[in-house]
């Protein structure tokens, strides 16, 4: 049989876990749109950004199996291992990712396939 203080502790632990779970589900449900900034090359590296445009070019790197999309003159880097949705030149696309600088050029690095939204 548990003492009253042990019961209170158990209730507090379970309540805390439920609050954490609710917070986690709320953040997951909000998605990247809630936390992202409109693309601006002046933003610092590491910022979560969103950019919409028309696909001008799609290239695959020589090594690593990475994909590079030119989206209305903005480079979008898709690391190998990420499965993007079907993409074609001329299609509209919205990209969520981390802003980075590579070889002096700004680019958006995609974190998962669902961060690319066609249409």
For residue 100, how many other CB atoms are within 10 A of its CB? 15
Can you tell me the mean pLDDT for 81-92?
93
What is the signed CA dihedral for 41, 43, 45, 50, rounded to 10 degrees?
-70
Residues in the chain: 119
Question: What pLDDT does residue 68 have?
Answer: 95
For residues 119 and 112, what is the distance between their CA atoms, to the nearest angstrom?
A: 17
pLDDT tens figures, 34-77 = 788 999 999 999 999 999 999 999 999 988 889 999 999 999 99
Nearest by Cα to 39 from 53, 54, 55: 53
> Which one of 2.40.50.460, 3.40.50.2000, 3.40.1160.10, 2.40.50.140 gives the CATH number of domain 35-118?
2.40.50.140
Domain definitions of the chain by residue range: 1-30, 35-118
């Amino acid at each position: 049989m548990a003492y009253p203080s042990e019961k209170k502790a158990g209730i507090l632990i379970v309540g805390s876990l439920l609050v954490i779970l609710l917070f986690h589900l709320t953040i997951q449900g909000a998605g990247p749109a809630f936390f992202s900034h409109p693309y601006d090359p002046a933003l610092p590296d590491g910022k979560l950004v969103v950019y919409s445009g028309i696909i001008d070019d799609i290239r695959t790197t020589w090594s690593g199996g990475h994909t590079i999309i030119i989206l209305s003159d903005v480079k979008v880097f898709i690391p190998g291992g990420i499965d993007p949705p079907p993409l074609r030149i001329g299609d509209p696309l919205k990209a969520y990712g981390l802003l980075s600088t590579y070889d002096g050029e700004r680019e958006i690095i995609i974190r998962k396939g669902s961060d690319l939204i066609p249409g």
